[in-house]
Homo-oligomer: A and B are copies of this chain.
Amino acid sequence: MNGIESRRKAVRKALKTKGIDAFFVGSLRNIRYLTGFTGSSAFVLLTRERGLFFTDFRYQEQAAEEVGHYEIEIERGKRIDVLRTLAKKLGIQRLGFETSLSFEFYSALKRLPVDLVPVRDLVEDLRKRKDDQEIGTIRTAAERAERAFLSIKPRIRVGAREREIALRLEEQLKKEGCRTIPFDIIIASGRNAAMPHAKPTDKKIEKGDFVIIDWGGEAEGYYSDMTRTLLMAGDSLSEKIRIYAIVNEAREKALRAVKTGAKTRDVDRAAREVIRGAGYGEYFGHGTGHGVGLEVHETPRVSWVRSEGITPGMVFTIEPGIYLPGLGGVRIEDMVAVRKDTAELLTSLGRDLEIIGS
């Protein structure tokens, strides 16, 4: 049984448990996961027996190529009218819907002669448990990202502009085969590195700057996400070297906390305790990590806000950081895949401090 079939089977089983006749899926990521479709307009209706896939005319040929295991139909007219007709034809009494659906479409659904059942994270929870093939694809996305970085790394030197480096890195990611870029690349140097989500500017890299590089790759719709921080040679580097060592230790401790049966909050705490203990707690304002897959930010969150059990197949980032206004910042981000007995690193570039131009 291939991935698509087993995913559909898992959804069906859940429908039965919840006493739902049909499940309306509108999230494009979930549709991609359930059907293989990569276009931008579709919905899926899964009943206990049938799998109906609807897309509009523009994607007719693409759907025929990509979508197996589903009855492919072309969506004509308003979606709510298509659903009304289907509900009648298929005798749907209890209709499940994703809670990520907009209030607006929910309001339209309420007017159908069916009982509505909110379904939270059914497909998202399946997506959290990646199979070997998915983990392999994410590894490919990470390898592409690392090769692209290594090829442009010599450009990261005093005098180079952040934006130019970002452009080159993006170009190289495409050359490596990434069809899309998961998020705008961050190249943040000097004071800019104090902003965890800085956009590349025309600023030139200067002596003594930290340079944060946060980028990701793609393979078959799956993403990777990683960060390295380089230090430019210069004067008075001692605090910077110290901060780097603290973040790197936090990363190491968090990684060691990743294991089946532990909690995501434990991983966050492991990183946070190192940084707090060194007196920089208030300068690490974001969570320690997040799930990565068909979305570059997906469940689980690895933070103090929510916690959940770590299970095999989860893929997430470990990315502690310290950001000091005026001085700059450090973030080191790796990706791990949780296996039954181990945590497998999907990123391989070194994490030791590199001082460029020394």
Contact = CB atoms under 8 A, between A and B. Distances in A.
Interface of A: 38-40, 56-62, 77-78, 97-104, 106-107, 118, 120, 167, 170-171, 174-175, 179-180, 184, 194-199, 285-286, 305, 325
Contact of A100 (B103, B195, B285): B103
A347 to B, nearest CB: 21
A195 B103 contact: no
Contacts of A197: 39-40, 58-59, 62
Contacts of A118: 103-104, 107
A269 to B, nearest CB: 17
A57 B285 contact: yes
Contacts of A98: 103
16 contacts: A38-B199, A39-B197, A40-B197, A57-B286, A58-B196, A59-B195, A60-B285, A61-B194, A61-B325, A97-B103, A99-B102, A103-B118, A104-B120, A167-B171, A170-B174, A171-B171
Contacts of A56: 285-286
A354 B317 CA distance: 50
A31 B59 CA distance: 32
B58 A195 contact: yes
A174 B120 CA distance: 39
A326 to B, nearest CB: 10
Given A62-B195, A179-B184, A78 B305 contact: yes
Nearest to A55: B197
Most chain B beta-carbon neighbours within 10 Å: one of A78, A120, A285: A285
A103 B106 CA distance: 7
A338 to B, nearest CB: 26
A195 to B, nearest CB: 5
Contact of A101 (B38, B102, B194): B102
B100 A102 contact: yes
A174 B184 contact: no
A329 to B, nearest CB: 11
A184 B195 contact: no
A285 B184 contact: no
Given A39-B197, A57-B286, A104-B120, A175 B167 contact: yes
A179 B101 CA distance: 30
Given A56-B285, A195-B58, A180 B170 contact: no
A61 B184 CA distance: 18
Nearest to A198: B62
A196 B196 CA distance: 39
